[in-house]
Structure 1
């Protein structure tokens, strides 16, 4: 049997509630790994929050975090960072549009100013109470820039302001200092320039010697598009956005119906 590289988004794909993997999904992944496959979770989350899901698999899954800006391989962790130019651009645009940005290292959240309660609640849904994440309020943009060497990615939440999000996306793309995507219609994902989940997937294909034709990728959101295009066996969830369904070669059941497990069980059975 050929070796496979299996990569799955987390929210809206691998889990139904952002945190917990069902026994059926865990068993399907374990069976694939026992047959020689390598398994990665691929997420926009910071590394510490990706571990919450990865640790539910035995053997433990590897991690692509921060939308491809961070990934693990052979005991090492690779980092790409947003950089001072991108951070300055985001702070300028969000200030002009009345939006709020959160920035992430592997285990710390940074922000400037005051984050509204609704934004804080939106961010915390990804962090179970069992995980302690440092949240650091910075008094100025200069203080934020001092942490630039550690900041891999960020997010702008706009749960009630889609017009401002659209303007923010256009303004940031025009400056061409970072990559802007989205995991949901309520946010903008801030990623280092020329980086997305596909970057990590392609680098891992080279490192493992497992080509696209043996790469299986699952996703549901816009920030999964590059990853799906890098995989020869690309799978959209039934709950995926239309663009993902149009891009993927296959479709499986929704995340709440163990779609990842159902596809893998059928695929390896055949």
Structure 2
């Protein structure tokens, strides 16, 4: 039997708006895993949160977290990349100069420069992050004390998108970071040459899955790399036009069982 590796983003892709997985999609994924295929959540979320959602799918589900910074198979981390401290410091200072909040992540901790968004602490929504600890970073000295723990970061601005665009333009000039976005309100900050694309390639090689047997689902700019490297890159109907143009296929939206209907047809279920 030809084995497949199925990789899926979480928000806007695998998850519904209420942060659950539809029964149809969940049932099919569990069936495919039991048949010997592989499934991995592939998300910008930190490792703890990504692992929780992987376990909701199946105990054997794998994890790509922090936009590719962390890869785990059967609960064992096989790859973990961290940003260079010089690049981290430049990022931190630029965000301070532009008065924009930046959040850095380890596998289990969120480090924040201003007040965390409500979904970092709200009881009904904190599963989106599931951080063991929240640590305030208010000074350069405190930042440097913790910087060796940071895997990736994100800048979030809910209102002034022009301000965000100006900062992104400056961040893209830095030599040791990769800059992406998963939503109009954010800037994703990653180690240079490390994103979901490289993580999916590495995971497929580790599992001995042929590149043409990789299926990736996504809806955001930070998913484009893994869509392009997959044998079947699938954009959700709710994805941006940029993402759809980068995909081999477009399926129905995340809230219309897009993953379920694509896999059912593509794998002849």
Tell me the TM-score normalised to structure 1 length: 0.92
In the other structure, the counterpart of 2:240 is: 241
Q: Which runs of 5+ in 1 are unaligned?
A: none
In the other structure, the counterpart of 2:82 is: 81
1:253 positional shift: 0.7
* SS of residue matched to 1:106: coil
Query: 1:161-172 residue pairs with structure 2 within 5 A?
Result: 161-172=160-171
1:85 positional shift: 1.3
Once the two structures are overlaid, the 10-residue window that deviates more, 135-144 or 33-42, is: 135-144
Once the two structures are overlaid, the 10-residue window that deviates more, 251-260 or 140-149, is: 140-149
Q: Is the 8 A contact 1:21 1:53 kept in 2?
A: no
CA RMSD of the aligned region, Å? 1.9
Q: Is the 8 A contact 2:69 2:190 kept in 1?
A: yes
1:123 positional shift: 4.5
CA distance 1:176–1:130, change in 2 (3 Å): closer
In the other structure, the counterpart of 2:2 is: 2
Say if 2:122 is the partner of 1:121: no
| Separation in structure 2 between the aligned mates of residue 50 and residue 7 of structure 1, nearest angstrom | 12
CA distance 1:26–1:69, change in 2 (3 Å): same
CA distance 1:180–1:40, change in 2 (3 Å): same
CA distance 1:150–1:129, change in 2 (3 Å): closer
| Separation in structure 1 between the aligned mates of residue 117 and residue 242 of structure 2, nearest angstrom | 29
Say if 2:91 is the partner of 1:94: no
Q: Is the 8 A contact 1:19 1:52 kept in 2?
A: no
| Separation in structure 2 between the aligned mates of residue 205 and residue 181 of structure 1, nearest angstrom | 23
How many residues in Structure 1 have an aligned counterpart in Structure 2? 266
Tell me the TM-score normalised to structure 2 length: 0.93
Q: Is the 8 A contact 1:8 1:14 kept in 2?
A: yes
| Separation in structure 1 between the aligned mates of residue 148 and residue 120 of structure 2, nearest angstrom | 22
Query: 1:17-28 residue pairs with structure 2 within 5 A?
Result: 17=17, 19-28=19-28
1:168 positional shift: 1.0
Once the two structures are overlaid, the 10-residue window that deviates more, 89-98 or 214-223, is: 89-98
Q: Is the 8 A contact 2:154 2:187 kept in 1?
A: yes
Q: Which runs of 5+ in 2 are unaligned?
A: none
| Separation in structure 2 between the aligned mates of residue 208 and residue 60 of structure 1, nearest angstrom | 13
In the other structure, the counterpart of 2:213 is: 214
In the other structure, the counterpart of 2:192 is: 193
Once the two structures are overlaid, the 10-residue window that deviates more, 41-50 or 68-77, is: 68-77
1:173 positional shift: 1.1
| Separation in structure 1 between the aligned mates of residue 132 and residue 44 of structure 2, nearest angstrom | 16
| Separation in structure 2 between the aligned mates of residue 132 and residue 167 of structure 1, nearest angstrom | 29
CA distance 1:208–1:220, change in 2 (3 Å): same
In the other structure, the counterpart of 2:230 is: 231
